[in-house]
A and B are shown apart, each in its own frame.
Chain A
Amino acid sequence: MSLPRLARSRSALLAVLVVVVAACSGATSPTPAASGPAPSAAQSTVPSTAPSDQGGKLSVGLSSDVFTLDPAIGYDVYSWPAERLLYDTLVTYDGGTTIVPSLAAEMPTISADGLTYTFKLRPGVKFVGKGGEPIRDLTADDVAWSLSRLMRPDLTPTVSPVGTGFFTVIKGADEVNAGTAELASGIKAIDPLTVEITLNQPDRTFLNILAMPFGSIVPKESAGTDTAAFAAAPVGTGPYWLESFTQDQVAVFQRNPQYWREGLPKADTIEFRFSQTAENQASLIKANELDITLDLLSQGDWAALSNDPQYKDRIALGDMVAFYYLMMDMLTDGNPFQDQKVRQAVNTAIDKDNIIRVVSGRGTIADCIFPPLLPGHDPSCKPYAFDVEQGKKLMAESPYPNGFSTKLYTDDVTTDGAVAEAIKADLAKIGIEVEVVQQPFDTLLGTMTTPGAAPLVYLGWFQDFPDPSDFIDPILSCATVIPNGFNVTGYCNEQLDKDGVTAKANPDLNAVLPDYQDFQKRIMTDAPIAPILVPKLDVFHSERTPDFTIHPVWAFDLQSIAVKE
């Protein structure tokens, strides 16, 4: 899931609250194989809210701009919360991890073979543009257009196939991605309010995929191939419309008067304030001049505020369904990380206890791929104990007994830089000379998804949805070894991919959890990555938002935050 988002350790957005996930894991996804309409959640989707909870202005701080407001290409912790203000998806999550209808009037009918999903759309939902004026009603054609558009190869100014990987399960997706078809043949508008989606193979996670902001429904006449143009004048069905966007300064979202969901949104206005340092944002929140920040607290503020009786109750805390890991490029010819012994040596050489100290305890050690709150977590999976001597031995047996020099890329978050420096010191002990390069998140995304550009990358992976396949398919499968893909390591194990497809076709996640536990052990033997830590999320908020809680999937569900003036 969102590498990107996860990458932003600061925003931590994807973080799924471990506890919630653990509690709900079995029920997280609807079972695709069941035929017949799933129980309608239309009425119970969102608890109705007293009007008194609504109104006011919510101010949200970020340390940089939002990269994009076009849901076809946004995939990071800043873009997603903003996109979710403007657009809706067919299905979404309730306050927890249960999928509920959104633009769909009810849960879809799923064919017995698990391949065909039929959605009835909610009637009378309006697209709105600037001014909150209704433009027209949503139709089934918009669904076909939107889900195909995100896979098009001709999106400009730059192609971003980040969402494509999730949606290739739809029949006809390959033709769209190859540029030979405009619409995926597997998406059919049966009538204006009925859409049928056919998959290539059964996929337990398909509704989770539709719930991602990539699955936002946008109107064809506004959302063409120019993503910059659409981001500048977005049109959607979401709870807000975009009033203004001043680069590097502020974006203002106003309540959509046409919004169909009862009781939402809470605040009348949401303001994104860009380009303030984490320290300034914390000062503004202390003074109640800013309500919430999408950034993590700086190390200094975390140490001070979490021990200050005046402020500590205003820090919402949660474990994330995420892990930070070191990716090793095993694809580029001549790169030492092509050698398995080198990769295993790296795994044994990193002192993770020290790294937890470096992050001031805002995390726990990751020994394996699946974090504790993800279904499939296996506490016994500890393939590489910290052992510098073993690391030296493995290096001596490798084609690089005298070591080598390389570069480690990470984002510009202070703690990520500090962890990278700690890794550098550890690897020096086994003869690997590392130069640490910190880049802003957007830039790093470009660097790491350019084949051969980054031998080592340190970043986090946050769940897109609570399913172990989300910690393998997007980052460690053959299908994502593509330019701009997130399998930075280039790791490709065809047998593992085949086994993964079989496991994913099984609608009963619990039945295949042992398979996933086996997959992660096989991957760790090949060692394309070195898991480092599981992050914690801390969100400092103002007194005006006393009821703020971390959403188990979105972390920040901004439209649900009530502001008390």
Chain B
Amino acid sequence: MSEESRRIRKISAHAGPVPGTGTVREETVAKLIDVTTCIGCRACEIACQEWNDLPFADTVFQNDLQTMPDTAWNVWTLIKMNEVEREDGTLQWLLRKQNCMHCADPGCLAACPAEGAIVQYENGIVDFDHDKCIGCQYCTIGCPFNVPKFNPATKKVFKCSLCSDRVEHGLQPACIKSCPTGCLQFGAKEEMLHVAHKRAEQLREHFGYENAGVYDPPGVGGTGVIYVLHDVTRPEQYGRLPKDPRIPTAVGLWKGPLNWLGSLAIVGGLIGMLAHFFLFGPKPDPSGEEGHGTEKSK
């Protein structure tokens, strides 16, 4: 990252200690989505499509405010609008910006068979390299959030890159830049967590949301996108946000023990056949001894 190159080691003609030397900046970045201040304006959706040069997707009318049911290969972020009935019978609007969560332990990366097609940068961003993507869509099986989406025309899978191309140059992701309410914030993960917990505390103490909290699921090692939710105990009501997301057991089994067992069996089989050949050799050729088989068995 370019900001690294501006880190100060020495200053000319400076009296006293050099400010900031020896400090290591928090490298892991995070996007904070405070759903409690989201107004559903969808500026982030537009900014995302503009910056990433994605063709617009058709909207689907579903008799509510939801523009389309889900993200798509060309819709990397989507505001999920959920009407939820409270216990007292009143309605509550729960808006959530859905996008790639940039897991510390990414299921897509674990499932991908193509070398270098999915990378996780030192700052925590999980990115797809489309030149190396083979279109097998195994990432869609590994992801617990239903994020990667397939483009059948190019046979490549797409998802939010957390604007890695902008972050690389010290800029905020496009969605953050466009957010009018400050619901979206971007920075070092540590700082974002601090802000998020502060906000959750505020919601609990001053707004009566007893279960307000921060969504940073430990099952995937924490995420590069964290949410502040009114009710962190029920994330499902924010449009199928999983309660305890993990890399699916089947994927773990498939890429772990089953994979090694299979490789071992193949190598073992090869060694076994070689051993058999050395121990017993090829079957004797009957052509030299005419009628050899007939005599013996009768």
Chain A bound to chain B: no
